[in-house]
Amino acid sequence: MRNDNESTGSPWPGVSDVPGAGPRLGGGEAGAADFRRALDALPAACQIVGRDRRFLYANQAAALQGRRTRDEILGRTIEAVYPGIELSEMYGAICRCLDEGTAAQIETEYPIPYGAAGWLDVRVQPIPEGALVLATDVTPRKQVEQGLRRLAHFDLLTGLPNRSHMEECFGRLAENGRNGNGGLALLVLGVRRLHDVNFALGRRHGDALLRAVAARLRRAVAEPAEVARLEGDHFGALLAGAGSRAVAERAAAALREAVSGVERIEGVTVDLAARVGIALCPEHGADFPSLLRNAEVALHLARQSDSGQAVYDPAADGFTPRRLALMADLLPAIEQHQFVLHFQPIVELATGAVVEFEALIRWKHPVHGMIPPDEFISLAEHTGAIRPLTLWVARAALEACRELRRTGVSPTVAVNISARNLGDDAFVEQVERLLAETEARPGWLDLELTESMLMQDPDRARDALDRLGRLGLRLSIDDFGTGYSSLGYLRKLPVHALKIDRSFMGVGGPTPGRRDSVIIRAVVDVGHAMGLQVVAEGVETEDGIEALTRLGCDRAQGYHIARPMPLEQARCWLRESPWGLRSLRPTA
């Protein structure tokens, strides 16, 4: 009887009995040598497995991949060469090919007997003599995919899932609830003292405080409940089987107790406290956006409550008089020129030259003073005033661009647009008419839109962007990494740049070897692979500039370069700052 270590006569035409010899072609020894060299030059591991599960051929890449010599492989069974491989997905695919003649293509982790960590793309093809197996290492691509998925679904600061991930979990848990497994409760927890810590000690201490809160929540919330950082100092807990008010209130009290207490942050004692807003599904919302919105309204009510927690109450949900007044004031404010633009420069990291200004809107209200965009943009979208407001911003930005170009630089201007704009069939024609009226070149204007905006109505957004792209405008994806858009979908859009969200910069910029640096590198590589420029927002230090340059980022924007400023101040800044002086065109 033949044992596994004996050589076997090969049924593969021209395959030698000598271990390591490989296939032999009809051209004699010279032809066989050429053939072996060709197979050995393949980057993929190539193996031929006979019907008795013995290796008939293995190229050099296969030997290296499996950490065996070819003499140790040829003529022996798969099980003898790689003990324990029977548990792997790769082994199953090979056996099915040998037994049933079925081809397969799988992506799988390295089999444990290989003694390596990583991912393989395995293709198994039936041939008359058995199975042809090609295995390519795809570990770098899988690492990029995993990094992008983590970027889209997890909060880098705390390590907790983010809002997108929680929304996915809501879909699964809500389905279980509809199948009779109880209701759901969404608890939104707001951390008190965070702003005090940020203002008194700085954001480094504030970030440490958020990590401490996240750790307390992890310990307090057990599966199948889900916990996430939603944004800022807001955390969420999604509780299955807690559809009754009493159960949800007890859970909220337990969360507040778990989070509250003394915490030492880098030698400073902080008295933590939390408030919780509660919304029940389906009573207060059958979909996640509605439930989240109502839980946040309840959190607002909890801040006014002595108990520190509140259940959503439709009767108490209404706009404040100020918000109502601002909604009424929006359209007249456009006509009365109450809005002003501030401009923040964007520089090319390779040269240090200013290549673009982002136009940021402010409302100079005659009663309430200067109002930031966070307070009125959502109102403009709610009322429909966002359409004329966006056109006003674009017109003012193009006029400002003309003024800035007179200083000796040639910047473009970036303007943020809304999902309402993309959904407006007249928007493209309005932009085209605006370019004609201002006598501006299309390349002067860069329209920025977010990932989440694109995914609200992907087909309609793509059509609008195609039409805008044909006008010659620049198009950029803003806040990249905070949504979850398909890379395949983004690849089809006529966009020019990705802007990495400021939340990935960290204090002092990305640190080599840390997760934020790895993810930024992944985004840069993906952006460049799609032929896009990559812009980093929120750069606050020179170290951040240097780190981004090392990571291959193309452009940067942030307080370290300059804060947003009125047009006249921006013109002076160009003439006086080192960044601006590097950008001036030489004069005759």
Residue that is written with structure tokens 């006979």 in the block: 50
231: which residues sit within 8 A by CB, 6+ positions away? Answer: 163
Q: Looking at residues 551-574, what average pLDDT do you find?
A: 94
CATH number at residue 274: 3.30.70.270
Q: Looking at residues 108-132, what average pLDDT do you find?
A: 86
Q: Are residues 118 and 206 in the same domain?
A: no
Q: Looking at residues 63-78, what average pLDDT do you find?
A: 89
User: What is the predicted pLDDT for the residue at 286?
Assistant: 87
Q: Are residues 132 and 164 in the same domain?
A: no
Confidence of residue 585 (pLDDT cuts 50, 70, 90): low
- How many domains, in total, are found in the chain? 3
Indicate the residue among 285, 316, 347 that finishes a domain. 316
Least confident of 9-18, 278-287, 306-315, 519-528: 9-18
CATH number at residue 368: 3.20.20.450
Residue 151: inside a domain: no
Residue 138 CB burial class (10 angstroms; 0-12, 13-18, ≥19): middle
Per-residue CA distances from 505 to 119, 153, 432, 458 (Å): 29, 17, 36, 28
Per-residue CA distances from 172 to 167, 224, 392 (Å): 9, 11, 43
Residue 14: inside a domain: no
User: What is the predicted pLDDT for the residue at 356?
Assistant: 95
Residue 373: inside a domain: yes
Q: Looking at residues 306-333, what average pLDDT do you find?
A: 84
Q: Are residues 222 and 275 in the same domain?
A: yes
Say whether pLDDT at 291 is over 70: yes
Q: Are residues 300 and 420 in the same domain?
A: no
User: What is the predicted pLDDT for the residue at 238?
Assistant: 92
Q: Are residues 369 and 398 in the same domain?
A: yes
For residue 273, give its domain range. 157-316
What whole-number distance in Å separates Cα of residue 393 and Cα of residue 371? 16
CATH number at residue 36: 3.30.450.20
What whole-number distance in Å separates Cα of residue 239 and Cα of residue 183? 9
Q: Are residues 572 and 536 in the same domain?
A: yes
**Torsion sign across C-alpha atoms 445, 451, 454, 456:** negative
What whole-number distance in Å separates Cα of residue 235 and Cα of residue 159? 12
Residue 293: inside a domain: yes
Indicate the residue among 289, 316, 343 that finishes a domain. 316
Contact 333, 365 (CB under 8 A): yes
Q: Looking at residues 19-47, what average pLDDT do you find?
A: 64
Q: Looking at residues 62-88, what average pLDDT do you find?
A: 89
Beta-carbon count within 10 A of 122 CB: 23
User: What is the predicted pLDDT for the residue at 318?
Assistant: 63
Least confident of 8-12, 329-333, 467-471: 8-12
What whole-number distance in Å separates Cα of residue 486 and Cα of residue 497? 16
pLDDT digits (tens, 9 = 90+) for 389-399: 999 999 999 99
User: What is the predicted pLDDT for the residue at 360?
Assistant: 96
Residue 150: inside a domain: no
State the average pLDDT for the chain: 85
Q: Which of 55-69, 247-261, 433-447, 511-525 has the highest mean pLDDT?
A: 433-447
Q: Are residues 122 and 166 in the same domain?
A: no
Indicate the residue among 85, 104, 137 that finishes a domain. 137
Least confident of 31-35, 83-87, 263-267, 474-478: 31-35
User: What is the predicted pLDDT for the residue at 20?
Assistant: 38
Confidence of residue 35 (pLDDT cuts 50, 70, 90): low
525: which residues sit within 8 A by CB, 6+ positions away? Answer: 144, 552
What whole-number distance in Å separates Cα of residue 481 and Cα of residue 176? 30
Q: Looking at residues 473-502, what average pLDDT do you find?
A: 80
What whole-number distance in Å separates Cα of residue 416 and Cα of residue 566? 17
Confidence of residue 12 (pLDDT cuts 50, 70, 90): very low
Q: Looking at residues 317-322, what average pLDDT do you find?
A: 69
Residue 203: inside a domain: yes
Q: Are residues 370 and 489 in the same domain?
A: yes
Residue 356 CB burial class (10 angstroms; 0-12, 13-18, ≥19): buried
Residue 189: inside a domain: yes
Residue 68: inside a domain: yes
Q: Looking at residues 312-326, what average pLDDT do you find?
A: 78
User: What is the predicted pLDDT for the residue at 483?
Assistant: 58
How open is the CA angle 286-287-290, to the nearest 5 degrees? 95
Q: Are residues 385 and 448 in the same domain?
A: yes
Confidence of residue 433 (pLDDT cuts 50, 70, 90): very high
Say whether the peptide bond before residue 11 is cis (omega within 30 degrees of 0).
Answer: no
pLDDT digits (tens, 9 = 90+) for 358-371: 999 999 999 999 99
As given in the structure block, the two tokens for residue 204 are: 């480094």
Q: Are residues 358 and 507 in the same domain?
A: yes
In one-letter notation, the amino acid at residue 459 is: D
Q: Are residues 286 and 421 in the same domain?
A: no
Measured between alpha carbons, how far apart are the two ends of the chain, in Å? 93
User: What is the predicted pLDDT for the residue at 381?
Assistant: 87
Q: Are residues 276 and 226 in the same domain?
A: yes
Beta-carbon count within 10 A of 114 CB: 19
Contact 222, 212 (CB under 8 A): no
Q: Looking at residues 470-487, what average pLDDT do you find?
A: 79
Residue 322 CB burial class (10 angstroms; 0-12, 13-18, ≥19): exposed
Residue that is written with structure tokens 């640190």 in the block: 511
Q: Can you give the C-alpha Rg of the chain in angstroms?
A: 30
Per-residue CA distances from 134 to 48, 60, 66, 412, 414 (Å): 9, 12, 13, 49, 48
Q: Which of 23-27, 175-179, 211-215 has the highest mean pLDDT?
A: 211-215
In one-letter notation, the amino acid at residue 433 is: R
Say whether pLDDT at 319 is over 60: no
Residue 523 CB burial class (10 angstroms; 0-12, 13-18, ≥19): buried
User: What is the predicted pLDDT for the residue at 11?
Assistant: 37
| % of the chain at pLDDT higher than 90 | 44
The pTM of the full predicted model, rounded to 2 decimals, is 0.53
